[in-house]
Amino acid sequence: MKNLIVDKKYDNKKLNTFLMAKLPTLTNNLFYKTLRKKDIKINGKRINENVSVFEGDQILVYISDDILMPSIKLNIFYEDENILIIDKPYNIEVTGENSLTSLVHKKYENLEFKPMPCHRLDRNTTGLILFAKNNESLKILLDKFKNHEIEKHYKALVYGIPKDNFKRCEAYLFKDTKKSQVYISDTFKKGYQKIVTTYSVIENYSNNTSLLDVQIETGKTHQIRAHLAYLGYPIIGDGKYGINSINKKFGKKYQMLCSYILKFNFKTDSGILNYLNKKDFVLDVKLN
C-alpha cells in the first residue's frame, strides 16, 4: 500500500496524472484495473473514477510493492570503495519511491551509508548515474558537479540533419511546474533562465536522422530535449517535445537520449577521490 499526500503542484489535476508522477512504474492499465477494484481511497473514501485531486488530499493506493517495484537488475558499470556508477534503464526515476535509488538502497541495505546519487536523469533517459558510497565522497562530488569539474556527455538520436557539425547554442528556458513542461526562447523574458547546449554530429543517416554528442553547461529540467526540439532537431521517441508521427514511424516509445560519458576533470584537490582525476567512463551504446 502507498500513502500519498497531494502537493500544490498537482492541485486540481486528474488522479492518474498525480499517481503516475509519484509512482513511476504505474501503468495506465494497472491504474484503471486498480480503480475498477476500488483499491484507491481519497480521504478515506473508495473511488472507481479518474477524479480530480486537490492539495492536501490523502491518497491510499492498495497495490503491493512487489508489483510497483520494477523487476530490473541493477547494471553496475563501475564500483570501488567510494563511488558506484549505474547504467540506468528507461522508465524509472533516479530518486523517489520505487526509484533507481530505492533499488540501490535495497541492494546495499547492510551498509551504514546508503549510496546516494550525485546528479539526475529524466525518467526515460538512460545511461550513467554516479552514486557516492560515503558522506565524504558525496560532498566532494556534489561540489565538483557544481563547479563543472565533472563532464557529462549525452548521445541523442534526432530527426533532421544539422547544418553545422558543431554548435554552441544559447537560449532561455522557462519551467512551467504545473504542466511539468519547459519552454524555450531566443530572447530573455521574465521568469526565463539562460541555458547553453553544445552539440557535435557523430554521424548522419540516410533516413534523415543524426546521432549527436550533446553537452550542457547549464543543467536545467528537460534542457536537452526541449532545446534540440526548439532548434529543429527533436529527439526521436520523445513524447513531450518530439513529433508523435515521427516517433511512430521509428517505433520508439521513449526518448533516444543516453548519458554515455562521465569525465573527471578536477581543477582542485579532491581528497580521497584524487585517483579519479583525468579518468573517463564511456558507455558503449547504440541508439539507431
Q: Which three cell numbers stand for residue 37?
A: 477494484
| Alpha carbon distance 7, 148 (integer Å) | 33
Q: What does DSSP say about strands 58-61 and 116-117: parallel, antiparallel, or unpaired?
A: unpaired
Q: Which three cell numbers stand for residue 279?
A: 579518468
**137 near 267, Cβ under 8 Å?**
no
| Alpha carbon distance 228, 58 (integer Å) | 39
Return the active site residues.
Answer: 122
| R_g over Cα of the chain | 20
Alpha carbon 133 to chain centroid, angstroms: 21
Pick the closest to residue 218 from 197, 233, 235 (CA basis).
197
